[in-house]
Chain A
Amino acid sequence: MDTQLIVVALIVAGALFFVGRRAWRSMAAARKPKSGCGSDCGCG
Chain B
Amino acid sequence: MWRGALYAATASRPRQNPVSTLHSPLAPDDSATVPRHTKGEANSEALRVAIIGNPNTGKTTLFNALTGLRQRVGNFAGVTVERVEGGFKGPQGRRVTVLDLPGSYSLSAGSPDEQVALDVLMGRDADRWRPDVVLVVADASHLERNLFLASQVIELGVPVVIALNQFDVAEAEGLRIDVPELIHELGVPIVPTVAKRGEGLEPLKKALSIAAGLPAPTRQFSIPAPAQNALAPLEACLVADGLSATAARMEALRLLGMQRVGSHLERVPGLAQAIKAASDDLRSAGFVPTRLESEVRYAWIAQVIERTVTRARPAGYNVSDRIDRFALHRVWGPLIFLALMMVVFQAVFSWATPLMDGIEAIIAAAGAAVGTALPEGDLRSLIVDGVFAGVGSVLVFLPQIAILFAFIGLLEHSGYMARAAFLMDRIMRRVGLHGKSFIPMLSGYACAVPGIMATRTIEDPKDRLATIMVVPLMSCSARLPVYTLLIGAFVPATSIVPGLTLQGATMLIMYLLGTVVALAVAAIFKRTLLKGPVRPMILELPPYRVPSLKSLGVSVVQRCQLFLQRAGTVILALSIVLWAMATYPKAAVDASLPVEVQQEQQLGHSVLGRIGHGIEPLVRPLGYDWKIGVSIAASFAAREVFVSTMGTIYGVGTDSEQALTERLQSERNAVTGERAYTPLIAVGLMVFYVFALMCISTIAVTVREAGGGRIGWQWAGLQFAYMLALAWGSAWLVYVGGTALGFGG
User: Which A positions have Cβ atoms within 8 angstroms of B?
Assistant: 1, 4-5, 7-8, 11-12, 14-16, 18-19, 22-23, 26-27, 29-44
Chain A CB within 8 A of B235 CB? no
Residues A42 and B379 in contact, CB atoms below 8 Å apart: no
Q: Number of residues in B with C-beta < 8 Å to the partner?
A: 53
Residues A22 and B570 in contact, CB atoms below 8 Å apart: yes
Contacts of A7 in B (CB 8 A): 379
Residues B708 and A33 in contact, CB atoms below 8 Å apart: yes
Known A12-B577, A30-B704; judge A38-B266 contact (CB<8 A): yes
Cβ-Cβ contact count across A and B, 8 Å cutoff: 121
- CB of A30 to closest CB in B, whole Å: 4
Residues B576 and A41 in contact, CB atoms below 8 Å apart: no
Residues B76 and A36 in contact, CB atoms below 8 Å apart: yes
Measured in the bound complex, the distance between the Cα atoms of B573 and A5 in whole Å is 18
Known A12-B580, A32-B708, A33-B709; judge A43-B569 contact (CB<8 A): no
Q: Mark contacts of B703-718 with chain A using CB atoms, 8 A cut-off: 1 yes-contact digit, 0 otherwise.
A: 1111111011100100
The 10 tightest CB contacts between A and B, nearest first, are A38-B263, A44-B707, A30-B703, A15-B576, A35-B78, A15-B573, A26-B700, A43-B112, A4-B379, A18-B573
Measured in the bound complex, the distance between the Cα atoms of B16 and A44 in whole Å is 44
Contacts of B526 in A (CB 8 A): none
Chain A CB within 8 A of B378 CB? yes
Residues B112 and A42 in contact, CB atoms below 8 Å apart: yes
- CB of A26 to closest CB in B, whole Å: 4
Residues A11 and B711 in contact, CB atoms below 8 Å apart: no
Chain A CB within 8 A of B492 CB? no
| A-contacting 9-mer, from B309-317, B460-468, B685-693 | B460-468
Contacts of A42 in B (CB 8 A): 110-112, 459-461, 464
Residues A37 and B709 in contact, CB atoms below 8 Å apart: no
- CB of A36 to closest CB in B, whole Å: 5
User: Which B positions have Cβ atoms within 8 angstroms of A?
Assistant: 76-79, 110-112, 115-116, 119, 125-126, 260, 262-264, 266, 375, 377-379, 382, 456, 459-461, 464-465, 569-570, 572-574, 576-577, 579-580, 637, 696-697, 699-700, 703-709, 711-713, 716
CB < 8 Å: which of A19, A30, A32, A34 contacts B574? A19
Residues B377 and A19 in contact, CB atoms below 8 Å apart: no
- CB of B421 to closest CB in A, whole Å: 19
Residues B263 and A39 in contact, CB atoms below 8 Å apart: yes
Extra contacts, 6 of them, besides A15-B577, A38-B263 (Cβ < 8 A), are A11-B382, A12-B580, A18-B570, A26-B696, A27-B700, A34-B78
Residues A19 and B577 in contact, CB atoms below 8 Å apart: yes
CB < 8 Å: which of B119, B464, B637 contacts A36? B119
Residues B116 and A36 in contact, CB atoms below 8 Å apart: yes
Measured in the bound complex, the distance between the Cα atoms of B460 and A27 in whole Å is 27
Q: Which residue of B lies closest to A17 (CB)?
A: B573
Measured in the bound complex, the distance between the Cα atoms of B461 and A38 in whole Å is 13
Measured in the bound complex, the distance between the Cα atoms of B259 and A25 in whole Å is 39
Residues B456 and A43 in contact, CB atoms below 8 Å apart: yes
Q: Which residue of A lies closest to B113 (CB)?
A: A43
Measured in the bound complex, the distance between the Cα atoms of B467 and A44 in whole Å is 12
Measured in the bound complex, the distance between the Cα atoms of B382 and A43 in whole Å is 46
Measured in the bound complex, the distance between the Cα atoms of B686 and A7 in whole Å is 38
Contacts of B577 in A (CB 8 A): 12, 15-16, 19
Measured in the bound complex, the distance between the Cα atoms of B375 and A26 in whole Å is 38
Contacts of A31 in B (CB 8 A): 703, 708-709, 713
Residues A35 and B382 in contact, CB atoms below 8 Å apart: no
- CB of A23 to closest CB in B, whole Å: 7
Residues B703 and A43 in contact, CB atoms below 8 Å apart: no
Contacts of A39 in B (CB 8 A): 263
Residues A44 and B464 in contact, CB atoms below 8 Å apart: yes
Measured in the bound complex, the distance between the Cα atoms of B697 and A32 in whole Å is 15
Residues B464 and A23 in contact, CB atoms below 8 Å apart: no
Known A8-B378, A18-B573, A37-B263; judge A44-B705 contact (CB<8 A): yes
Contacts of B460 in A (CB 8 A): 42
Q: Which residue of A lies closest to B716 (CB)?
A: A30
Measured in the bound complex, the distance between the Cα atoms of B569 and A18 in whole Å is 8
Contacts of A16 in B (CB 8 A): 573, 577
Measured in the bound complex, the distance between the Cα atoms of B375 and A1 in whole Å is 9
CB < 8 Å: which of A1, A8, A38, A44 contacts B382? A8
Residues A43 and B461 in contact, CB atoms below 8 Å apart: yes
Residues A36 and B79 in contact, CB atoms below 8 Å apart: yes
Q: Which residue of A lies closest to B380 (CB)?
A: A4
Residues B262 and A37 in contact, CB atoms below 8 Å apart: yes
